[in-house]
Amino acid sequence: MNTCQRTIRLAVLDDVERIVEVLGAAKQVMRNAGNMNQWIDGYPNAQAVIADIERGGGVVIEDDGMVVAYFAFLPSPEPTYAKIYQGAWLDDTMPYHVVHRMGAVPTAKGVFASAMDYCFSQDPNIRIDTHRDNKIMRHLVEKHGFAYCGIIYLDNGDERLAYQLIR
C-alpha cells in the first residue's frame, strides 16, 4: 500500500504561487463536473490567497512535502452570513469559523476529511457555503454531517447554499 505523509499547516507567502496552481486545478475539476458558474472572472486569485494568509487563515495540505490542497479557515463573523434565507443557522449565538476557497489537485484523496479534522480541532462550530452547481462540495459537506441551513448571498448578489456543523 502506497501511503504518503500528510501535513496541514498555515500557508506562508512563499506558498502563494503553488496555491494558485492548486486552485486552478480544482477549478478545472469543477468545470469537468459541470460547475461552470463558480470561481469565475479569475477568482480565486493570488490577492484573495494573500489576504487569507495575512489574516492568519490560509491553510495548506501537503502530501510528502508538496502542497496538494488549500482552504481558508477564518473566524466569525462572516458578513455574508448575517442574513440567511429560506432557513436558519443551527446556532446563531456562538462564534464559529468559516471554510472558504477549498481546492485540491485531483490526485489528492481524502482532502476534505483531513481539512475537517484540522478545522474541528480548532473550533467545534464550522460553517461552509457553496454554489448550487458544486455537486462535489455539496456531497462532501453532507457526507461529513453538515446540515443544510438555507441560502446566503455574496456581496455581488450571487446565491450560495449554506451549511453548518457543530460538534
117-131 residue pLDDT tens:
999 999 999 999 999
pLDDT computed for residue 3 by the predictor? 80
- Whether 21 is in a domain gets the answer yes
Q: How many domains does the chain have?
A: 1
pLDDT computed for residue 69 by the predictor? 98
> By residue range, what is the domain housing residue 46?
6-166
- Whether 1 is in a domain gets the answer no
Query: Which parts of the chain have pLDDT scores under 70?
Result: 1-2
- Whether 16 is in a domain gets the answer yes
- Whether 58 is in a domain gets the answer yes
pLDDT computed for residue 135 by the predictor? 95
pTM: 0.95
The CATH number assigned to the domain holding 110 equals: 3.40.630.30
Rounded distance, CA 59 to CA 15, Å?
Answer: 10
